[in-house]
Amino acid sequence: MLLPDPSLPLPYPRVKEDPDDSRMRRRLCAITETHTASLIGALRDLQTEGLVPFVDVRIRQAPLTPTFKLYLFNAVEALHGMYEIIERPLELEDGEVVTALDVLGLGATLTHHVKDPAGAGAPGTVFVEGMQQWFDSVWNHLAQ
């Protein structure tokens, strides 16, 4: 998994009126840790129950602002969805409600792309291969 580097300031999520307020970044880190741990646990459960033969989860952080979701499956399928930046009220850990600039991650519409065995120039093939190349380049050159 590629995740944004939590030490870097991101353009979102942030408090709309105070981009330097670090509370939204802390909130994002907590959500990321919770979801990542849950995903790893669920994948390991699949292996333990014999539903998949092997699970290998690796996580790196990259100095990039996420602008889309991308799931790549076995180099033949991709799910892709753009994040939409929205303004919304959010309650922070101290109970204060702030106006935040955030993205809709959970509700992002995902488009399914599949490599076409008929040809290298097919749209699905071009998309899946291009996204895999992008992911590999970030993983190999920017992520730590």
How many whole angstroms separate alpha carbon 77 and alpha carbon 6? 29
In this predicted structure, the answer to whether residue 105 has a pLDDT above a threshold of 80 is no
Percent of the chain's residues with pLDDT above 90: 75
pTM: 0.85
Handedness of CA 83, 84, 86, 89 (dihedral sign): negative
Beta bridge partners of 98: 90
How does residue 130 score in pLDDT terms, banded at 50, 70 and 90? very high
How does residue 120 score in pLDDT terms, banded at 50, 70 and 90? confident
State the pLDDT at residue 72.
95
